[in-house]
């Protein structure tokens, strides 16, 4: 062991470890298979063209696409045009001046951007279309996590009497940036069932692209922070100061603050007006340990929206806590447990339709919030008031990681003694120092 360690350059080791830590940003251990898949099925050949169905499927367990909806783009390999489209539209017709006649192509752009149409449009619909660009998270509503549209493509490259090449440079916004899409690859043709389900009919060709999310690429400051409190200590552990890109101005006593614009908000400052707080986060998730019974314990979970101009429809909150391995009852939220690779239990909460599935904005009279009580069964072997065990290990709001308070600020038990629970970063640092010590020896 010592010999192996001695051959590793300590600088390289630190670099390697910090790269691993950064990479963990792209890979979410709570949803390792989360992605968007884009399937391009060619159903019929036409004279110098084809009919195709494009299907978008959201495989993320707890990341949804909200207003103003997804945007899909690509670059045609040669001079293809979209002759017609149903279930979606291209945002730009482009230069169709080489066409004349009664019908013009839907879009002649080399790099069209395609958006969904609204649910109340009655013309040019397709099967499974028209959600105004919204796609549900898979664990919440798998039926609405997919959408499809149809298009007729013409003006293929005449050289080869084929269906031409797949479009290049696939882009996906949902609705913000952060997604990277693989090139379209030929896969096994999609199969539909015909004749009452007894005959399998494969399409002519299927191209598939997978788009994955990285909050590092989205390049925005955190949007969410967590705060904790308990029945046994009046001290509240607040969100950390200046967590979400900026600090409140110390001397000013105003109610509204402008959050430094992130790439999601763009230049639209209107969207970035939030209630001034020390943390400056648009969203806070508060976990209050309320009651400790013989065989159960009770938590109050509150999600507050400090935005003045933004409602969150179909919000969701994911909490990782070992207590969620036992039976859990949420009273005012919908909830489910997710299977994951981590040992702790993971529970997903979302609003109840027409009751609290819309997290309203704040105004001068108050903060928009939704709240529920949660009753958890106790596993007598693991339940403890020590070491901040009763607080969540990780919280996500709409799939975005919430900043957590440091363990040394957790509310203490009345009788005192508190043992430090190392977090991941602290663990990596102690690993580095251990290896450095070994190297010095």
Binding site residues, ligand NAG, CB under 6 A = 33, 35, 37, 59, 75, 84, 106, 123-124, 140-141, 168-169, 210, 241, 250, 278, 309-311, 334, 352-353, 360-361
How many residues belong to the chain?
441
Q: Which is nearer to ligand NAG, 84 or 233 (CB)?
A: 84
Please state at what angle helix 424-440 crosses helix 10-23, rounded to 10 degrees: 170
Which lies closer to ligand NAG via its Cβ, residue 297 or residue 357? Answer: 357
Q: Would you say 148 or 278 has its CB closer to ligand NAG?
A: 278
Helix (H) or strand (E) holding 17: helix 10-23
Find the shortest distance in angstroms from Cβ 392 to ligand NAG: 20
Smaller CB distance to ligand NAG: residue 183 or 322?
A: 183
Least distance (Å) between residue 103 CB and ligand NAG = 7
Minimum distance from residue 321 beta carbon to ligand NAG (Å): 21
Kindly state the DSSP code that residue 11 receives in the 8-state scheme: H
CB 293 within 8 A of CB 5: no
> Of 383 and 398, which CB lies nearer to ligand NAG in the complex structure?
398
**Cβ 310 to ligand NAG shortest distance, Å:** 6
Q: How far is the CB of 43 from ligand NAG (least distance, A)?
A: 17
Residue 135 in contact with residue 211, Cβ under 8 Å?
no
**Comparison of 35 and 398: residue with beta carbon closer to ligand NAG:** 35
**For ligand NAG, which is the closer residue by CB, 32 or 202?**
32
Closer CB to ligand NAG, residue 91 or residue 241? 241
Smallest gap, in angstroms, from Cβ of residue 360 to ligand NAG? 5
- Considering the complex, what minimum distance in angstroms separates the CB of residue 124 from ligand NAG? 4
Owner of token pair 């399409």: 203
In angstroms, what is the minimal distance from the CB of 435 to ligand NAG? 31
At closest approach, how far in Å is the CB of 61 from ligand NAG? 9
For residue 195, give the 3-state DSSP assignment.
Answer: helix
| Other Cβ atoms closer than 10 A to 271 | 19
3-state secondary structure of 330: strand
Q: What whole-number distance in Å separates Cα of residue 315 and Cα of residue 359?
A: 7
In contact, 441 and 6? CB cutoff 8 Å: no
Query: Using CA atoms, how far apart are residues 165 and 156, in angstroms rounded to an integer?
Result: 9
3-class DSSP string for 204-241: CEEEEEEEEECHHHHCCCCCEEEEEEECCEEEEECCCC
**Hunting for tokens 């978008």 — which residue is that?**
56
- By beta-carbon proximity to ligand NAG, the closer residue of 168 and 327 is 168
Closer to ligand NAG by CB, 66 or 262: give it: 66
What does each C-alpha distance from 270 to 236, 256, 308, 362 come to in angstroms? 31, 11, 9, 14
CA dist 351 and 43 (Å) reads 39
Determine the Cα–Cα distance for residues 343 and 5; give it in Å rounded to an integer: 30
> Under a CB-based contact definition with an 8 Å cutoff, are residues 176 and 84 in contact?
no
Q: Convert 362-411 into a string of H (helix), E (strand) and C (coil).
A: CECCECEEEEEEEEEECCCCCCCCHHHCCCCCEEEECCEECECCCHHHCC
- The distance of closest approach from Cβ of residue 140 to ligand NAG in the complex, given in angstroms and rounded to an integer, is 5
């Amino acid at each position: 062991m010592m010999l192996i360690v001695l051959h590793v350059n300590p600088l390289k080791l630190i670099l390697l470890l910090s790269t691993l830590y950064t990479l963990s940003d792209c890979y979410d251990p709570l949803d390792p298979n989360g992605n968007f898949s884009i399937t391009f099925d060619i159903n019929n050949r036409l004279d110098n063209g084809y009919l195709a169905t494009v299907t978008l499927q959201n495989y993320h367990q707890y990341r949804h696409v909200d207003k103003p909806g997804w945007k899909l783009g690509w670059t045609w390999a040669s001079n293809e045009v979209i002759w017609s489209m149903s279930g979606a539209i291209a945002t730009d017709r482009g230069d169709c001046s080489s066409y004349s006649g009664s019908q013009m192509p839907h879009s002649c752009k080399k790099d069209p951007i395609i958006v969904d149409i609204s649910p109340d449009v009655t013309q040019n619909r397709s099967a499974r279309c028209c959600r105004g660009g919204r796609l549900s998270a898979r664990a919440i509503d798998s039926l609405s996590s997919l959408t499809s549209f149809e298009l007729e493509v013409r003006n293929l490259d005449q050289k080869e009497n084929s269906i031409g090449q797949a479009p290049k440079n696939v882009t996906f916004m949902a609705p913000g940036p952060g997604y990277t899409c693989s090139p379209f690859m030929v896969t096994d043709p999609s199969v539909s069932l015909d004749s009452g389900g007894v005959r399998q009919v494969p399409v002519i060709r299927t191209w598939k692209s997978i788009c994955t999310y990285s909050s590092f690429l989205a390049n925005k400051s955190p949007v969410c922070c967590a705060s904790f409190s308990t029945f046994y200590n009046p001290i509240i552990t607040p969100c950390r100061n200046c967590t979400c890109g900026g600090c409140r101005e110390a001397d000013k006593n105003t109610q509204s603050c402008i959050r430094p614009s992130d790439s999601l908000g763009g230049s639209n400052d209107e969207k970035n007006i939030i209630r001034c707080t020390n943390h400056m986060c648009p969203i806070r998730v508060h976990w209050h340990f309320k009651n400790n019974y013989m065989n159960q314990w009770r938590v109050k979970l509150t999600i507050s929206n400090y935005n003045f101009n933004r409602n969150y429809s179909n919000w969701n909150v994911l909490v990782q806590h070992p207590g969620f391995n036992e039976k859990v009852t949420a009273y005012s939220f919908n909830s489910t447990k997710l299977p994951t690779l981590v040992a702790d239990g993971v529970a997903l909460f979302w609003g109840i339709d027409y009751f609290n599935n819309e997290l309203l904005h704040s105004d001068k009279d108050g903060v928009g919030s939704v709240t529920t009580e949660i009753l958890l069964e106790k596993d007598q072997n693991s339940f403890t008031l020590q070491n901040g065990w009763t607080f969540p290990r990780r919280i996500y709001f709409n799939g975005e990681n919430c900043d957590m308070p440091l363990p040394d600020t957790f509310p203490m038990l009345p009788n005192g003694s508190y043992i430090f629970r190392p977090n991941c970063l602290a663990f990596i640092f102690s690993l580095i120092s251990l290896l450095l010590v070994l190297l010095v020896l």
